[in-house]
Amino acid sequence: MLDEPGRTAIDAAYDVLREDLGIPQDEVLSLHEGEPFEQEDEERERTWVVHPVLAEIATDEVTLGGGEEGNFAWVEPEEARQYDLVPDFEKVLDACSL
């Protein structure tokens, strides 16, 4: 998503919120971009560059789309560490200063 010239992590975050969660830009109160970091994926034998973004939104309405399915829960940032969502999720939270 960031491979287009001039595209930022914030641009991509707005797209993910809209396409995957059905949250329009006018419902986004703030986006905070953390420091990018590298994550090794031994299974795929590649290195990913993770661009963490923390979103504060004004709605609790979500419409899963973009191939997303499953359960979701709204949590306060300090609660997020209780969840094992993706590899190195703690690094994402640390990068967003949580």
Among the listed residues 9, 82, 24, the one whose alpha carbon sits nearest the alpha carbon of residue 73:
82
Q: List C-alpha distances in Å: 3 to 7, 11, 65, 71.
A: 7, 12, 22, 29
Write down the pTM of the prediction: 0.77
Per-residue pLDDT tens for 34-83? 999 998 888 889 998 999 998 999 998 888 886 666 777 788 878 888 88
Domain boundaries, the chain: 9-95
**pLDDT for position 53:** 92
* pLDDT attached to residue 68: 66
Contact 54, 27 (CB under 8 A): no
